[in-house]
Structure 1
């Protein structure tokens, strides 16, 4: 089992344990309240959603990972399609974090 499959499995376990928030409002509330330990954003999310949650996660110091597509993310948690998922438990976050590849920060070329 590769790392991405493990991450999706752990997200499914976290969902069954009731330790996930999903959807725009659910994730936003979890980030603002300090409950979110990490946020997973689908790669095919809209530009507005991407910018909004990059800014919110940076402001509230929550790690944001952009990976999977909306159908993979939704399928992992037993839903049809989901663009955003927040992990609310630090134990699950520690399991999932090493399985996700964070893209390197790209420096602008001047």
Structure 2
């Protein structure tokens, strides 16, 4: 019975080896030659990207301008009313912390 298992194993090895050598992937195709008609699409996409970048840049500039105006208003309010204590976001977070559910063990 062991002899039969060895024969099956030996007979399957050459078959597997022959299938791996026969199943090589075909060589890759050479890259296509330059096609000038494709340049039109490339140029159009490039123009669209430039337009989108310009719009995004304009939007960013508008947002920055708005933030600068808000900052200037904030500074004016601070100069007019210096005695008013404004809380920073970090301070307001500290006040709203809930107590722990479990107390820490002291060692």
Q: Does TM, normalized by the shorter one, top 0.5? A: no
Higher CA-based Rg: 2
Instruction: State TM-score, norm by structure 2.
Output: 0.22
Bigger share in helix: 2
Bigger share in strand: 1
Structure with the larger RCO, 1 or 2 (CA within 8 Å, 6+ apart): 1
Instruction: State TM-score, norm by structure 1.
Output: 0.22
